Amino acid sequence: MHSISEENYIKAIYHLQGGKALVSTNEIAGRMNTKASSVTDMLKKLADKNLAEYVPYKGARLTDKGVLCANQIIRKHRLWEVFLVEKLDFSWDEVHEVAEQLEHIQSQKLIDQIDKHLGFPKKDPHGDPIPDRHGNYEKTNKTVLSKLKKGDKGTLIGLIDSSKNFLKYLDKQHMKLGTHIEIVDFEEFDLSYTIKVNGAELQISKLISDNLYIKLN
Amino acid sequence: MHSISEENYIKAIYHLQGGKALVSTNEIAGRMNTKASSVTDMLKKLADKNLAEYVPYKGARLTDKGVLCANQIIRKHRLWEVFLVEKLDFSWDEVHEVAEQLEHIQSQKLIDQIDKHLGFPKKDPHGDPIPDRHGNYEKTNKTVLSKLKKGDKGTLIGLIDSSKNFLKYLDKQHMKLGTHIEIVDFEEFDLSYTIKVNGAELQISKLISDNLYIKLN
DNA sequence: CTAAATTTTTAGACAAGACTAAAAATTAAT
DNA sequence: ATTAATTTTTAGTCTTGTCTAAAAATTTAG
């Protein structure tokens, strides 16, 4: 249907879109480690295929067709991540690269059977929601830890950054999805937090607190 | 490491090699649904990479390095086939196309964990042996059914042709790997056999008998 | 053993996707 | 409101892998 390269651009635009009306050429190039000129070429192609709207010099946005396509790719990526962790004993910092390859395998039956085999999971190992066949997924109420105040209590349910180093840091602190967290103190000077995790107190920097999603009790 | 295209050529040469000293350009082109000129180009590239020896106008043969590479691809292909059948309820005529894609996923850990997850199977769903990490595999004594004589008894342990239509024919006759077979009669005129399978007698043509591997009791 | 048929290779072209360098458009700044 | 800085696009090139058509080599036949 679509080439691997096209799929990777669709995914990048989807992730960069957020609230914005248009995603710029440079943003896409940055995320994909490619050059702006290559992005321009691809945006024209995606527009031809009605997967994106492209406004020269302004940027691009996925069409409904493009969004659906992105959701299918993300569905595959996240289901494969669950598979790798649950069935093949991968750790959560090892799954991304392999899932980047597996997400491009073309077989509707394959992905639906994987879904079934895993018991139709709703979340991937990093707490991100898994779209169903139709592109729908559960939105959960979540707050970035850096928005919390002293005394707030909640559960770690997701990550913003999912880079290897961040995941390894969390492992080192014995923090994983479902871990209970309590805000013990907040330091105005460097915006760091003291939190209680697994019964012990832990200092976390602003950067860390900006990358943890908490569900308040 | 190697491109998907390179891997597909390596696999094709491996499968065509058999006893022959050299596999011809046209044979490769035929098996891969490509043109002879494309094959020539690729053979030069494989020779540059020391994956094949290429003798212009004569053909090519895999080097030891090429054979090892072929075995790794075949290992991946066959393990994925077992996975699809055992874990995801695919039928044996559905697995090939998907495995053709999955065999190119690059991750040593992935394939070793799949192997472990499946309990280190020795045979794929069509009875073909699965090489281990080092490229070694079990060779079993097998005889093509068309070599058997009246009264011979044995077990179906493998197939030569594994095309969809042949697999569906076998399903229709309730024949699968492990099915016990007895030669009831042989007809000199059209070289057809009468065999006893699952307690019932069945006529099979020469073509069928040429594509079944039997292990004699 | 030469001529015909076949196979293989070469030469040149094309498509996808990426890159560089330069031009054009947009945005920011004085 | 011009100039300066930045972003984006265009134009042209490169690589991988493919193709067609023509040339060269090999094999087969008479």
Residue B8, H or E segment: helix B4-17
State the pLDDT at residue B140: 87
Residue B215 has pLDDT above 90, yes or no: yes
Instruction: Determine contact: B105 vs chain A, CB below 8 A.
Output: yes
3-state secondary structure of A52: strand
State how far the Cα of B146 lies from the Cα of B165, in Å rounded to an integer. Answer: 20
Q: Around A28, how many Cα atoms within 13 Å sit in the side-chain half-sphere? A: 29
Helices (H), A18-63: 25-32, 36-48
ipTM attached to this prediction: 0.89
Nucleotide nearest to A40 (CA to C1'): D9
What pLDDT, on a 0 to 100 scale, did the predictor assign at position A147?
Answer: 95
Strand partners, A204: A193
pLDDT tens string B32-57: 999 999 999 999 999 999 999 999 99
Spatial contact of B150 and B183, defined as CB atoms under 8 Å apart: yes
Q: Does A97 touch chain B (CB under 8 A)?
A: yes
Residue B61 bridge partners (DSSP): B53
Question: Above 90 in pLDDT, residue B217?
Answer: no
Q: pLDDT digits over A39-83, tens only?
A: 999 999 999 999 999 999 999 999 999 999 999 999 999 999 999
Domains and CATH numbers, chain B: 4-62 (1.10.10.10), 143-216 (2.30.30.90)
Distances from the Cα of B81 to the Cαs of A58, A104, A202, in angstroms?
47, 18, 47
| Predicted pLDDT of residue A1 | 85
A7, A101, A118: which to substitute to probe chain B, counting the most B Cβ within 10 Å? A101
| pLDDT tens per residue, range A142-179 | 999 999 999 999 999 999 999 999 999 999 999 999 99
Q: In this predicted model, what pLDDT tens digit does every residue of A75-105 receive, in sequence order? A: 999 999 999 999 999 999 999 999 999 999 9
Q: Mean of the pLDDT values across residues B117-122?
A: 97
Q: Is the CB of B159 under 7 A from strand C?
A: no
The CA angle B86-B175-B96, to the nearest 5 degrees, is 45
Find the mean pLDDT for residues A174-195. Answer: 96
DSSP assignments along B115-171, one per residue: HHHTT--SB-TTSPBPP-TTS--PPPP-EEGGG--TT-EEEEEEES---HHHHHHHH
Q: Does B55 touch chain A (CB under 8 A)?
A: no
Q: Give mean pLDDT, residues A120-138.
A: 95
Exposure letters B56-68 (e unless 16+ CB within 10 A, then b): eeebbbbbeebbe
* pLDDT at residue B19 tops 90: no
pLDDT (0 to 100) of residue B149: 94
Any idea which of B17-21, B77-81, B124-128 has the lowest mean pLDDT? B17-21
pLDDT band at B119 (very low <50, low <70, confident <90, very high): very high
- d(C-alpha A192, C-alpha A186), whole Å: 6
What pLDDT score was predicted for residue A22? 96
Chain B residues with CB inside 8 Å of A87's CB? 117
Residue B186, amino acid: F
- Chain B window 45-84, residues with Cβ within 7 A of nucleic strand C: 54, 56-59
* A140, pLDDT greater than 90: no
Q: Is A102 on the interface with B (CB under 8 A)?
A: yes
Going by pLDDT thresholds of 50, 70 and 90, the confidence category of residue B1 is confident
Distance D10 C1' – A37 CA (angstroms): 9
A43-47, A57-61, B2-6, B16-20, range with the lowest pLDDT: B16-20
Q: Sign of torsion, CA A156 A161 A162 A168?
A: negative
CA distance B198 to B178: 11
Average pLDDT, chain B: 96
| Closest residue in A to B108 (Cα–Cα) | A98
Question: pLDDT per residue over A16-41, tens digit each?
Answer: 998 899 999 999 999 999 999 999 99
